[in-house]
């Protein structure tokens, strides 16, 4: 009798353990449990921790509440200015109503993915190429609104949407490169012309200053010669200033005038020459002979 009682207690305990094991459910911190009793939504969403359900009657489905990062496949479309592009994006979303995410939509992940692809194609057709390349913040906000509107009924909220990359045809890339190069060349020419204009103004002021003091030109020439002579691998060409020729010409004229006054009474006046004597050539000849000596 006692053995039968002990056996019944052991069997009852084993059955209780089996029932408890089949009824026990553990919900993690980032999850929520949605319970269906005989196919109908039962009670509130189960919180994290240890939960019990009725075996063979209740069925629990766990829903992840973490933010999901979903890449959107590259979509090819034609922009409003008739340029063919391929655009891919990434969507960040999370479930805020587990019951609606399980009941209202068959697969909320697949639904969000398809809605993101459709919205991305629509954004490509409504935008111009310059907006896709430079005004992405506004396009991201438009994409987020387009995806979030139907996702609210699915118990899902869109955290943010980011356009990752915009692929252009090779011909368009070359055209944009030529355009950028032409724009940079234009700016370089404008800057160079402005520098020449400012330099010409400064040179004009310097020329006026040197005109008032002719010796400044000689000093500037000597400075240039010193700067060129600092390079040992350079050939220095020293130009003869015009002022030196004029000085030699004046000295030659004065010496000729003095000799004429001394010999005027001793010899008759010379016959007129066929052509006037070029004093500049005589000065150059005298300078050449002086250099050779």
Query: Could you give phi then psi for residue 173, rounded to 5 degrees?
Result: -65, -40
Read off the pTM.
0.59
pLDDT at 157: 93
User: Crossing angle of helices 136-151/108-126, nearest 10°?
Assistant: 140
Per-residue pLDDT of the chain (293 residues; tens, 9 = 90+): 677 777 777 777 777 777 777 888 889 999 999 999 988 998 889 999 988 888 888 899 999 999 999 999 999 988 888 888 999 999 999 999 999 999 999 999 999 999 999 999 999 988 888 888 888 888 899 899 999 888 989 999 999 999 988 888 888 888 888 888 899 999 999 999 999 999 988 888 887 877 777 677 777 777 777 776 666 666 656 666 656 566 666 666 776 666 666 555 555 555 444 444 455 566 566 656 654 55
CB neighbours of 104 closer than 8 A, spacing ≥ 6? 153, 154, 155
Q: How far apart are CA 118 and CA 112, in angstroms?
A: 10
Q: How far apart are CA 101 and CA 103, in angstroms?
A: 6
Q: What is the DSSP string of 126-154?
A: HS-HHHHHH-HHHHHHHHHHHHHHHHGGG
Q: How far apart are CA 78 and CA 255, in angstroms?
A: 92
Structural tokens at position 271? 């016959």
């Amino acid at each position: 009798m006692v053995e039968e009682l002990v056996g019944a207690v052991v069997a009852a305990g084993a059955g209780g353990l089996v029932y408890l094991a089949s009824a026990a459910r553990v919900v993690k911190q980032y999850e929520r449990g949605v319970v269906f009793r005989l196919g109908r939504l039962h009670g509130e969403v189960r919180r994290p921790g240890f939960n019990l359900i009725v075996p063979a009657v209740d069925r629990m489905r766990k829903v992840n509440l973490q933010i999901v990062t979903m890449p959107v496949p590259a979509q090819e479309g034609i922009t409003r200015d008739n340029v063919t592009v391929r655009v891919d994006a990434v969507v960040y979303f999370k479930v805020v109503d587990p019951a609606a995410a399980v009941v209202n939509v068959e697969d909320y992940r697949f639904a969000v993915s398809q809605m993101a692809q459709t919205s991305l194609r629509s954004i490509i057709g409504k935008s111009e190429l310059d907006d896709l390349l430079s005004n992405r913040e506004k396009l991201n906000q438009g994409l987020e609104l387009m995806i979030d509107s139907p996702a609210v009924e699915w118990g899902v909220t869109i955290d943010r949407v980011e356009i990752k990359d915009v692929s252009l045809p090779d011909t368009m890339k070359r055209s944009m490169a030529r355009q950028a190069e032409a724009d940079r060349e234009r700016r370089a020419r404008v800057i160079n012309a402005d520098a020449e204009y400012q330099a010409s103004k400064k040179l004009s002021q310097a020329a006026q200053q040197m005109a008032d003091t002719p010796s400044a030109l000689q000093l500037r020439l000597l400075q240039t010669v010193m700067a060129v002579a600092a390079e040992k691998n350079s050939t220095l060409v020293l130009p003869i200033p015009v002022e030196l020729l004029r000085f030699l010409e004046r000295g030659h004229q004065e010496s000729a005038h003095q000799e004429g006054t001394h010999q005027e009474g001793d010899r008759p006046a010379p016959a007129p020459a066929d052509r006037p004597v070029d004093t500049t050539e005589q000065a150059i000849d005298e300078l050449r002979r002086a250099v050779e000596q």
